[in-house]
Structure 1
Amino acid sequence: MAIRNIISRPSFRSMPKSSSIAISFPEFPSSNSRAFSETPASRHRALVSLSALFQRYGFPPTEFTDFLKKNEFLLNSSPSEIEKSFKILLSVKPSQEFLVSIVSGCPRVLQLDFLEKWKLGVKQLGMYNITSAAIRNVLEISRKFALSPDDVYRRVKCLKGLGCSEETITKVLEAVPMAVMWKEDEIRATVDFLMGIGIQRREIDRVFGLFPGVLAFGVENRLTPLVDEFEDLGFSLSEIRREVLRDPKVLGLENGELSQCLEMLRSLKCRVVIKENIFRDGEFRAGYKVKLRIDCLRKHGLTYRDAFTVLWKEPRVILYEIEGIEKKIEFLVHKMKFDVQCLVEVPEYLGVNFDKQIVPRFNVIQYLRANDGLGDEVGLRNLVKLSRLRFYNMYVKPYPECEKIYGRFAGDVSVRSRHPVGMWKLFKPQQHPQSVEDVKNIKSYMKSLP
């Protein structure tokens, strides 16, 4: 099921109105607009009038020249017609931000004939809490493919008939606006597929609400092969249903992804306690966690293969939240000025504590570097892999001013011994009081010795 992406032009930035800003108008090469049949003076007055109109409705004058150059068709409309279009859009959603956003992204919606049909169109959809993003998508799709409000209403009615709430339908229109173009049979086919793996009709709303993108996947060429892969890996339909309800985004897995993730997990060589924690919620959930962290690492510049290498070398990353991983990568790249590829060589960086180890050590090295107290440059490997005591002895202890920066061994804080205080008592032999008879027996025994 093909999805056509809507490419929006950059939105205007909000700027205060100012009448003192000089506006220059470009020389357009074409001559098919009404403005070019007029005298230069009348054309200039028309351009000034349009500029004043757009500025009055919140558009920054500094960007009006480029905007008009890219949308010459506006010169064929009078300022009064454009103002009527503005008022219709504001009646749909009384927000200046909404008006600027939709006109910037899809200027063609300003055509008065098109907007006349939508005076009551949004209200006819029966959705009273619809968001600006959803309205914008509906209007852009409708303008691009010449859809009427009735066409959109039929799709909304279909979703409502399947049990979807208004909030869920809004999320669908935000994430998958092309849904207003699909046939009802295509939407129902997705619902039938979900019910075929055990999802109840009352649970469809939850699945679409948490992952509206599932409506964009074809049943025959995407969803059915995916479930077949899950079953081939040994998961039953009840397990698949449980995982889909827990997080419907598992249906966004590419065919073969979960198999690769589980193959990597089964080959891990790490401490037993780490492996047990990874598989604590079952193999399916463990494999999906790997997929999410692979996506996170790839988003920051690692290749698919390198991302797998990092997780295989440092499996503790699988146990950490995505937000924590991204925080460490942002600090590595923007603060520490290391390339993200360093993670392939030193994946341990993602496995250590950020606040207790990474930040204090980096602060010490930064201080020494700024004060010429650092001899050789410290690489990421030494910064991360040195033991706490060795790092302290090398970079903190010789410089008293670094004690407070490092913090861990500062002041009266002592290094914790390997065993708790008093452990030696457990290994000391038990003492028993000696009686007079015991003493006599010991003396007689000693006398008997040669």
Structure 2
Amino acid sequence: MMRGMGFREETVKKLFEELPLAVLKDSAGFRKKIDLLKYIGLSSREIDQILFSCPEFLELNFEGRLKPLLDELHKMIFSHAEIRAAILENPKPFLRLVPGELSRCIELLDSLRCRHPIKERILNMGYLRASINVKLRIECLHKHGLILRDAFKVLYVEPRAILYDLADIEEKLEFLLQKMRFCIEHLVECPEYLGVNLNKQIIPRYNVLEYLRSVGGLGDEVWMKHYVQLSRMKFYNMFVKPYPECEKIFNGFSREKVVRPCHPVGMWKLFKPQKFPESENDVRNMRKFVKSLNLC
């Protein structure tokens, strides 16, 4: 049956390796799911690619999962072209959507109160693909221990995280949990952590604070706000300035600044006022003027 539908040998082999035999024997359910993909506008070659990359699609319940999801997409007035583009771009997260999940992601996108350029970049590829990006980041936060409600709250406060690569977010979360030794719930108190640059801001501050902790220079406990919310100058004045050895660690401010001239050497000669020769008459008049001032 599969070969008759035009599937490649590699795809058929992978389906038999990864799926239960009961799923493959259900020919009626199999055809319904394939017809659903064709109804969206996918070609046989594209369906073959999707099944090869995401064979678990055939395990999804048609009446309880796939059909309600398609009905939800139609209610949101998404065209088949948008749905097709979203599936081809990210088949796994799209096919993992459950009914109602997409609506919640779109509600978050509509409620964002961020700067216009950021929201414009988020919605640049359309609501559907932006919703998939939201879902991927929610799953990432949830995987590291954050409950779904708090994950949505973090993205609402720090929408720039929707634009960043998942690898970048994963790296920040690993650093937060493993190196900084904060629990994931601290991210709810300070969501801006996902929006700052890890290498330029967080790691230099972490190195300074770890050094001060090792030499007993930290009197008070350090919180997330010290890494994220303090300005660079305020952090410098609070933790770096009292300890000169921290300046190299901090990777920035230095007390010994080299003052560079505003103009190249010799440029001052061009701006020197022109000197005119003085005649004997000018000298005589100048002396008379000075004497008159003394008489007064």
TM over 0.5: yes
Distance 2:257 2:102 in 1: 47
**Distance (whole Å) between structure 1 residues aligned to residue 182 and residue 48 of structure 2:** 45
CA pair 266-404 structure 1, distance change in 2 beyond 3 A: same
2:10 counterpart residue number: 167
Q: Which residue pairs with 2:116 in the alignment?
A: 272
Deviation of residue 174 (structure 1)?
4.6
Selected match of 2:174 from 309, 323, 330: 330
Q: How does 1:301-380 map to 2 (within 5 A)?
A: 301-380=145-224
Q: Which amino acid aligns with 1:244?
A: I
2:105 maps to 1:261: yes
TM-score (norm 1): 0.55
Alignment CA distance shift 1:193-1:413 (3 Å)? farther
Q: Quick one: which of 16, 20, 25 aligns to 1:182? A: 25
Which has the bigger relative contact order, CA under 8 A and spacing at least 6?
2
Runs of 4+ deviating beyond 4 Å: 178-181, 410-414
Asked if the contact 1:173–1:179 (Cα under 8 Å) also holds between the matched residues in 2, the reply is: no
Amino acid corresponding to residue 188 of structure 1 in structure 2: R
Identical aligned residues as a percent: 52
Q: 2:24–2:30: 8 Å Cα contact kept in structure 1? A: no
TM-aligned CA deviation for residue 393 of structure 1: 1.6
| Kept after mapping to 1: 8 A contact 2:23/2:58 | no
Q: Deviation at 1:364?
A: 0.4
Is residue 34 of structure 2 the alignment partner of residue 202 of structure 1?
no
Aligned twin of 2:237? 393
Task: Please give the alpha-carbon distance, in whole angstroms, between the structure 1 residues aligned to 2:85 and 2:39.
Answer: 14
CA deviations over 1:10-41 (Å, ceiling 9, x no partner): xxxxxxxxxxxxxxxxxxxxxxxxxxxxxxxx
Name the structure 2 match of 1:245: 88
Contact conserved, 1:226 with 1:255, CA < 8 A, in 2?
Answer: yes
In structure 2, what is the equivalent of residue 290 of structure 1?
A: 134
The CA distance in 2 between the partners of 1:351 and 1:264, in whole Å, is 17
The answer on 1:221 being equivalent to 2:221 is no
Which one of 252, 258, 267 corresponds to residue 408 of structure 1?
Answer: 252
Paired residue type of 1:210: S
CA shift at 1:202, angstroms?
Answer: 2.5
Task: Provide Cα deviations, 1:212-246, integer angstroms capped at 9, x if missing partner.
Answer: 11111122221111111111112112221222222
Match of 1:437 in 2: none
Instruction: Pick closer, same or farther for the CA change 1:229–1:367 going to 2, 3 Å.
Output: same
Structure 2 regions of 5+ residues with no counterpart?
263-296
Give the distance between the partners of 1:200 and 1:258, measured in 2 at CA: 25
Secondary structure, in 3 states, of the residue corresponding to 2:2?
helix
Would the alpha carbon gap of residues 180 and 219 (structure 1) be closer, same or farther in structure 2, given more than 3 Å must change?
Answer: closer
Residues 39-76 of structure 1: CA deviation (Å, up to 9, x unaligned): xxxxxxxxxxxxxxxxxxxxxxxxxxxxxxxxxxxxxx
Is residue 172–residue 209 contact of structure 1 (8 Å, CA) maintained in 2? yes
Deviations 1:360-379 (A, max 9, x none): 10110000011011121111
Shift of residue 182, structure 1, vs aligned partner: 2.7
Instruction: Provide the rounded CA distance (Å) in 2 between the counterparts of 1:174 and 1:289.
Output: 30
- Does structure 2 retain, via aligned residues, the 8 Å contact 1:163–1:204? no
Alpha-carbon offset, residue 294 of structure 1: 0.6
Q: Distance in 2 between matches of 1:331 and 1:413?
A: 33
Alpha-carbon distance between aligned partners in 2 of 1:326 and 1:334, rounded to the nearest angstrom:
12
> Between Structure 1 and Structure 2, how many residues are aligned?
259
Distance 1:295 1:178 in 2: 30
Work out whether residues 240 and 250 of structure 2, in 8 Å CA contact, stay in contact via their aligned partners in 1. Answer: yes
Q: Distance in 2 between matches of 1:334 and 1:390?
A: 26
